[in-house]
């Protein structure tokens, strides 16, 4: 008797990548996404590093994402007056807007398997297979469930009620602007501008056609008014913080557009999961291990999770073995590396909070 499809909760980077690997191996998949349509915006942009690029290559998407994004050649650090503090060459790094990456992943999935405007309500467990129940009260029998529904994961919350998201020491405001002059000035380089006193930095990432991702990282404890700002006060609070910054142009006048940005109040789990799921449910990406932005490993580690989980499922299916040990195996494979990212991002956070006179030049990635 044929098994019911594998259910993937969330059509983000982790969910689409995992579904694509499973479909490549002729395993039936059904994907549930709470959004009403395919991604058109959200998350703004990200850096793809070698581990993530290698996974995309396995999906046949390396060339597509390379053309959609911008190859980054160097990480350059400046003070807020434009003085150079640090430069370092970079390999295997692509800046890309999140929508372009999601569209590339969506192109590998059969449209009939994607169910938009469909939110998870609960998962019912029986002696045989789990059943996904949606908020529309639809029932979807499943052979296995993959929770890839992000930092605020409903799937994780159903499994682990004592694991909650809590405020962190750092948050970000992220946006995108088209500015050919600044685009030409920064070239194919990741630029970061630091405040002398520490606790605030502006990052600039070139994309394509004059588009630039900008992001303002700030200390929540040091700048509580920015953390609590609403749409009516956000611009004023940003201006109070970086209004006189002048690299490579006056930042406030020409780059920052608070009317079209995303204020990401970063949260992490109060404690790491001991296991990424249960017998018939596995968690991947931010649902399993949300990270700070300092590691630049959110999307990249999600792609690796997707690949490793799909390998385990495919192997067990080929051997005719049940899938009830998958989440335990996945945790054993991935958690040691994820803990290294956590340790690295703590170090990067501590450096970020210090005055730059006390910093050493460091490329802000975890590898």
DSSP reduced 3-state for 134 = strand
- pLDDT at residue 126, rounded to an integer: 75
Put residue 73 in one of left, alpha, beta given phi > 0 → left and psi -120 to 50 → alpha: alpha
Enter the pTM of the model: 0.94
Q: How far apart are CA 309 and CA 203, in angstroms?
A: 33
Average pLDDT for consecutive 10-residue bins of the chain (367 residues)?
A: 87 96 94 80 81 97 96 93 90 94 92 88 86 93 96 96 94 90 92 90 92 92 93 88 79 71 92 95 97 90 98 92 92 97 90 73 66
Q: Closest by alpha carbon to 240, among 208, 195, 303, 273?
A: 195
Structural contact between residues 38 and 46, judged by C-beta atoms closer than 8 angstroms: no
Q: CA of 253: how far to CAs of 174, 177, 182, 186, 212, in Å? A: 16, 12, 12, 17, 15
DSSP reduced 3-state for 244 = coil
Place of tokens 């002059």: 181
Location of each CATH 3.30.9.30 domain in the chain: 168-267
- The CATH number of 6-71+97-166+270-353 is which of 3.50.50.60, 3.40.190.10, 3.40.30.10, 3.90.180.10? 3.50.50.60
Structural contact between residues 348 and 356, judged by C-beta atoms closer than 8 angstroms: no
DSSP reduced 3-state for 361 = coil
Residue 342: both structure tokens together:
């956590």
Query: Helix/strand/coil (H, E, C) string of 213-234?
Result: EEEEEEECCCCHHHHCCCCCCH
96 sits in which H/E element: strand 94-97
Phi then psi dihedrals of residue 355, to 5 deg:
-60, 145
- List the helix and strand counts (H, then E) for the chain: 11, 21
Q: How far apart are CA 365 and CA 52, in angstroms?
A: 13
Place of tokens 């990424």: 276
Q: How far apart are CA 165 and CA 267, in angstroms?
A: 6
Structural contact between residues 252 and 243, judged by C-beta atoms closer than 8 angstroms: yes
Structural contact between residues 22 and 314, judged by C-beta atoms closer than 8 angstroms: yes
Question: In this structure, which topology does domain 168-267 adopt according to CATH?
Answer: D-Amino Acid Oxidase; Chain A, domain 2 (3.30.9)
Location of each CATH 3.50.50.60 domain in the chain: 6-71+97-166+270-353
């Amino acid at each position: 008797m044929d098994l019911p499809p594998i259910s993937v909760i969330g059509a983000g980077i982790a969910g689409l990548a995992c579904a694509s690997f499973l479909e490549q191996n002729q395993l039936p998949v059904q994907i549930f996404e709470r959004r009403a349509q395919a991604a058109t915006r959200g998350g703004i942009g990200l850096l793809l590093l070698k581990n993530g690029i290698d996974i995309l290559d396995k999906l046949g998407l390396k060339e597509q994402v390379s053309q959609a994004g911008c190859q980054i050649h160097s990480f350059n650090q400046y003070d807020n007056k434009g003085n150079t503090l640090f430069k370092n060459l970079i390999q295997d790094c692509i800046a890309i807007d999140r929508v372009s990456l999601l569209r590339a992943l969506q192109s590998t999935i059969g449209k009939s398997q994607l169910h938009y405007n469909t939110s998870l309500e609960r998962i019912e467990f029986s002696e045989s297979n789990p059943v996904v129940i949606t908020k529309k009260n639809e029932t979807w029998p499943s052979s296995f469930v993959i929770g890839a529904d992000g930092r605020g994961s409903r799937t994780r919350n159903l499994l682990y009620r004592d694991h909650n998201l809590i405020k962190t020491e750092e948050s970000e405001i992220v946006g995108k602007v088209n500015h050919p002059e600044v685009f030409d000035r920064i070239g194919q380089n990741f630029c970061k501008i630091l405040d002398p006193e520490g606790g605030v930095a502006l990052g600039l990432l070139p994309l394509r056609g004059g588009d630039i991702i900008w992001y303002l990282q700030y200390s929540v404890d040091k700048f509580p008014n920015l953390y609590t700002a609403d749409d009516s006060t956000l611009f004023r609070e940003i201006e109070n913080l970086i209004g006189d910054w002048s690299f490579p142009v006056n930042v406030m006048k020409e780059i920052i557009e608070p009317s079209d940005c995303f204020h990401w109040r970063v949260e992490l789990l109060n404690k790491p999961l001991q296991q990424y799921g249960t017998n018939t449910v596995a968690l991947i990406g931010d649902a399993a291990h949300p990270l700070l932005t300092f590691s630049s490993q959110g999307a990249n580690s999600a792609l690796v999770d997707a690949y490793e989980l799909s390998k385990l499922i495919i192997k067990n299916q080929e051997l005719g073995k049940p899938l009830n040990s998958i989440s335990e195996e996945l945790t054993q494979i991935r958690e040691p590396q994820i803990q290294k990212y956590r340790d690295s991002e703590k170090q990067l956070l501590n450096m970020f909070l210090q005055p730059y006179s006390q910093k050493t030049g460091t490329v802000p990635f975890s590898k």
